[in-house]
Structure 1
Amino acid sequence: MLDNIPRGTICIEDLEIGMVRRLTKRIEDYDIRLFADISTDCNPVHLDDDYARDTIFGGRIAHGMLTASLISAVIGEQLPGHGTVYLGQTLKFLAPVFPGDEVTAEVSVREIDHGRRRVTLDCVCLVGEKAVLKGEALVLAPSKKFD
């Protein structure tokens, strides 16, 4: 279940360096299976207990891109929010996410280019205090001038 999070838009004119938004979601077996169906990534490390038990992870793990999609949710729903256009994303996968893990995706504003409506965002996903994914996003932010 997702945290009760604000949704909407923060236009570039109202963004500030250091602004942070986050959401938390428990990654369930259902999410992993649905993501496998949608993405067509049916790697047995995600879906087969017997196979995954013999891997370096010792059990099934969530798709890295499923975890990364939580960053997209924060960007598209909260910061900057509705009307934001992704221009780029870097990701570094640091640790596995297991079924039942509660993941917090956090996005913070690092740079704002008002003239080009570009915003650079630092992105991290955490399980507890442990970073499982880090990255950077570049987005085109919505503007009050184009409403």
Structure 2
Amino acid sequence: MQLIVGQKASQTKKFSKEEVLNFSKLTSDDNPIHFDEQYASKTRFKKTIVQGPMVVSLIGGILGSTLPGPGTIYISQETKFLKPLFIEETVTAWVEIIKIRDDKPIITLKNWIEKEDGEVVLEGQSVILFLENL
């Protein structure tokens, strides 16, 4: 695949209560803001929220599967969480190539995740090594 600056890919997802609970178990995240509706109702968010690392995982999914795809190895990830993502909200994660090094197979990508109304909940940047000749 020919990679070029400006190339984009996306993935749309809705996180279920069951997925959030399973992620809490998998990561030993006991924060009740993610799974206890009564607890969450007393917080500034008023509802349960999806774990930040779970939301960011959508970016990794795109990088490893779509753009650039298999052979992608993370070098770094910078992420800013701007808004909470509530359980059962649909979001679309985006990556866009913003730099391709000439001397090494290293690619920098802009990342963002937005709700259906266009509100951005997360933004950041990934740097990856792309082993395209596997």
TM-score (norm 2): 0.96
Calculate the aligned-residue CA RMSD, in Å: 0.9
Count of residues paired in the alignment: 133
Structure 1 runs of 4+ with >6 Å offset: none
Whether contact under 8 Å (1:80, 1:142) holds in the other structure is: no
Amino acid at match of 1:33: L
Consecutive unaligned residues of structure 2, counting only runs of 5 or more, are: none
Say if 2:129 is the partner of 1:126.
no
Question: 3-state DSSP class of the match of 1:92?
Answer: strand
How far residue 40 of structure 1 moved from its aligned partner, in angstroms, is 1.0
The aligned residue for residue 4 of structure 1 is none
* Alpha-carbon distance between aligned partners in 2 of 1:20 and 1:134, rounded to the nearest angstrom: 15
Say if 2:93 is the partner of 1:105.
yes
The aligned residue for residue 130 of structure 2 is 141
How far residue 114 of structure 1 moved from its aligned partner, in angstroms, is 2.9
Consecutive unaligned residues of structure 1, counting only runs of 5 or more, are: 1-9
* Alpha-carbon distance between aligned partners in 2 of 1:134 and 1:77, rounded to the nearest angstrom: 20
Identity of aligned residues (%): 32
TM-score (norm 1): 0.88
Say if 2:9 is the partner of 1:16.
no
Question: 3-state DSSP class of the match of 1:15?
Answer: coil
Amino acid at match of 2:89: D
